[in-house]
Amino acid sequence: MSCWAHATVGALEGALFRVTNRLVPLSEQVLVDCAKPYGGNGCSGTWPTAAYEYMKAEGIPALTDYPYEGKEQLCRANSVRPVQRTHISTHVNVTINNIVALKMAISKYGPTVVIIDGETLSFTSYKRGYYYDGRCRKGKLNHAVLAVGWTVHREETYFILKNSWSENWGEAGYVLMRAPTNTCGVLQQPTVPVLPQETELLG
């Protein structure tokens, strides 16, 4: 379960794009391999805060400099050629259980990390359409995804979530998740990284 690395790095890529207007793919693998001193747990899963602490202290290299391998390996962060690394200054804990707050975070900071229940069968087998399943647990958060926007269907908000299970899952890797019922806990724990250049947004 390297979803925590994919989601947080995706949020960081989005933040970097806001500042530079360039989409630079960054390394998820460096978090999988190297973030244990900060609370990381490789492919066994962990909370986004471990990724943020690593980003703040060590920085994230480009994907081309530290490619994704799909499994935990020995940390090579100090052996890759000296390249630019992207650091953050902090991260923001978005107000929980608040649709407007999550919308504002996406608008203000860009793609935002959310933690959901990713184990319900209807979610794992999702193909297309507007997703809601009352059996998807709000109190069982186990999967990190990226909220990149929202849409409205029948006067209800649905957040557009990017999953890390390849483009073969869902709608080319995305799901439209119903917001008013806090489906799968989508509103429970949103967070977003903040670049040093964007600290003025914290005010």
Q: Provide the angle, in degrees to the nearest 10, between the axes of the packed helices 3-20 and 48-57.
A: 50
Which positions are catalytic? 3, 143, 163
Sign of the CA dihedral running 61, 24, 102, 175? negative
- Count of beta carbons in the 10 Å neighbourhood of residue 39: 15
pLDDT tens track for 48-64: 999 999 999 999 999 99
Q: Give 128's DSSP letter.
A: S
Smallest CA-to-CA distance from 156 within 188, 182, 180, 132 is with 180
CATH 3.90.70.10 fits 92-192, yes or no: yes
Confidence (pLDDT) at 173:
98
- The C-alpha atoms of residue 96 and residue 70 are separated, in whole angstroms, by 31
- The C-alpha atoms of residue 156 and residue 159 are separated, in whole angstroms, by 10
pLDDT tens track for 109-129: 999 999 999 999 999 999 999
Residue 179 has pLDDT above 80, yes or no: yes
Give the SS3 label for residue 159. Answer: strand
Confidence (pLDDT) at 201:
63
**69 token code pair:** 């391998």
CATH 3.90.70.10, the chain: domain bounds = 3-88, 92-192
Confidence (pLDDT) at 42:
76
pLDDT tens track for 2-49: 899 999 999 999 999 999 999 999 999 999 999 999 998 877 778 999
State the average pLDDT over residues 95-109.
97
Percentage of the chain with pLDDT > 90? 88
Confidence (pLDDT) at 70:
86
Residue 203 has pLDDT above 60, yes or no: no
CATH of 3-88, one of 3.40.50.300, 3.40.50.720, 3.40.47.10, 3.90.70.10: 3.90.70.10
Confidence (pLDDT) at 52:
98
Confidence (pLDDT) at 56:
97
Q: Round the average pLDDT of the chain to a whole number and report it.
A: 94
**73 token code pair:** 């390996």
- The C-alpha atoms of residue 174 and residue 125 are separated, in whole angstroms, by 12
Confidence (pLDDT) at 101:
98
**35 token code pair:** 């973030």
User: pTM score, two decimals?
Assistant: 0.94
* Burial classification of residue 148, based on how many CB atoms lie within 10 Å of its CB (0-12 exposed, 13-18 middle, 19 or more buried): middle
